[in-house]
Amino acid sequence: MTNNSKVLALKYRPQVFEDLIGQEVISETIYNSIKSNKSANAYLFTGIRGVGKTTFARIVAKSLNCEKGIDNLCKENFCEHCNSIINSNHIDVLEMDAASKTGVDDVRELIEFSRYGPTSAKYKIFIIDEVHMLSKQAFNALLKTLEEPPKYLKFIFATTEIKKIPITVVSRCQRFDLSRIKSEVLFKFIKQIKDKEKGRASDDALKLIVKISEGSVRDALSLLDRGLLSNKENEELDLKKAQKIFGYFDKSYLIDLLENLFKGDEKNVIKLYKQIYQNGVEPKNFLNDFLEILYYLKNISTIKVDGTNFSLNDEDFDKLLQISNQLDQKNIILFWQFTIETIDELNVVSNPNLSVEMFLIRLMYLKDFQKIEENYYEKKEIFHNLNISSNNKTVNQIKNISQQDKIDPKVKSENITSETRIDSFIELINLCNKKKEIKLKYELENNVNLVTFSEGFIEIAFNDQLDKDFIKNLSNKLYEWTNIRWIISLSKKEGAISKKQQEEINKKNLFSKVKKSEVYKKVLETLPDAELINVDLNEEKEDE
């Protein structure tokens, strides 16, 4: 290991396959291919930052060129080739950053250089980091050499953006997807590093580091380095101190805040938020953690608290389970949508802290949105959906409208004599027909594909012909007819076929059935030029 560095992420960088954590299957596959002399022409490593892409590239380069061979690969006492590869100055191993050399001319120089065999090593190796940054012309220039390189030439690519690499390049490489390191594995690893460094840190502080690093080894080591350096002599890095250093806070504060929010206790909600803010938590980070708690709250019945997830402890889990049992799930979904919108708002306000405080206050009014007084009802905040996926023109039209205008109490009292119950999509279409809302009926039958339907909630997909005022008009009418506010969610799912499409399918099937009947065949025998135009079913004889 490169002990000459004081930075933990470099000091404990793996030098052999055995040192790599969380990628055992990939390590074994590459090791076996090199040992059996069946190494690929080109390797492609992809994954998030800090999981070992460049490290893998260097270990592969060392394995191919090490004087001691792959079975005795240099780990501490490095041979000349391994030492040069580690320090990125080997004459036959060129390490290039595609972020700074993106053009076709750079690749042409590379190809020209590849025509000559290695000077001292067995293989000439090109390591290209962030390869997705290459231009389209550069990729095209590389294709032929990549597919049929000389026997002495190997390519090793690393990228965080695999989708940006042309499929023609990917197909010529042996691709390896490096996964995030599991929490339990990463925890054991940084604990070992902490012990080697003779540092002092509690397990809870290390678990927090693992959570913040999100499966990245480099991030975890950098955070550990930062945490240990903050310790005074004989001082331990505990959870409270780690939270302050990393701008993180105990989830129990947020759970308490959420509990008070659902109770409508404005004073305690603001008090708890100010405590969190004073601990150094940025408003945007707070909202992202708020989303995480909402996710746990919605899916608490399927979440397990075990050694691979350090997000919730037993006490937090039990408390969330208790809160979840007392909530309407619609409110959680509503909070989720509204929180996402508020995150976007933070980019345009001058004081994000005050914006979050107002966000929390507004949530207290939204929690019982079906009973909200008209003065507190804010149309855009409740029904604006971000999960729209369709034609951009139609989507933009719908995203920029309000689903529900404020309803004049006088009009409401005049129009609603009794609350109407709508239990199905067909009942909604029939009610539109009964109320003579022909335009709404037309849109529902022709341009809407139902995903889910329940009282107070409709999830739909739609086509390009959907009227831009459809959701606003439907929301108004639903409130007028049922005296409750409905959530109309626009889904990425395809949904069921529209009523119009179903009728066309039924008609086609009926025509097909009639054309196969004996009666129709006899008609054609008598009138060969006859054409079937329409079919009218005789209800009394329909079963015959």
In this predicted model, what pLDDT tens digit does every residue of 159-207 receive, in sequence order? 999 999 999 999 999 999 998 888 889 999 999 999 998 888 998 889 8
The token pair that represents 503 in the structure block: 């009728």
Per DSSP, the three-state class of 161 is coil
pLDDT tops 60 at residue 339: yes
Question: Which residues sit opposite 450 in a β-bridge?
Answer: 460
**CA 277, CA 356: separation in Å to the nearest integer?**
10
In this predicted model, what pLDDT tens digit does every residue of 60-104 receive, in sequence order? 999 998 988 888 888 888 888 888 888 888 888 988 888 787 788
Classify 473 in phi/psi space as left (phi over 0), alpha (psi -120 to 50) or beta. alpha
Residue showing tokens 């940006």: 164
pLDDT tops 90 at residue 327: no
Question: Which residues sit opposite 461 in a β-bridge?
Answer: 449
Mean pLDDT of 123-151: 89
pLDDT tops 50 at residue 381: no
- Go through the domains of the chain in sequence order and give each one's CATH number: 8-177 (3.40.50.300), 183-245 (1.10.8.60), 251-367 (1.20.272.10), 382-490 (no CATH), 499-541 (no CATH)
**CA 159, CA 523: separation in Å to the nearest integer?**
69
Global pTM exceeds 0.75: no
The token pair that represents 408 in the structure block: 């004049």
**CA 129, CA 89: separation in Å to the nearest integer?**
16
The token pair that represents 132 in the structure block: 């997705």
Mean pLDDT of 18-28: 91
DSSP H stretches of helix in 325-424: 329-345, 352-366, 379-383, 392-399, 409-415
**CA 52, CA 18: separation in Å to the nearest integer?**
13
**Closest by CA position to 225, among listed 1, 12, 8:** 8
Per-residue pLDDT at 311: 59
Per-residue pLDDT at 73: 87
Q: What single-letter DSSP state applies at residue 486?
A: P
The token pair that represents 448 in the structure block: 């809407």
In this predicted model, what pLDDT tens digit does every residue of 421-480 receive, in sequence order? 888 888 888 898 888 888 888 888 888 888 888 888 888 887 778 887 888 888 888 888
Question: How do 448-454 and 457-462 pair as beta strands?
Answer: antiparallel
Per DSSP, the three-state class of 46 is strand
Per DSSP, the three-state class of 44 is strand
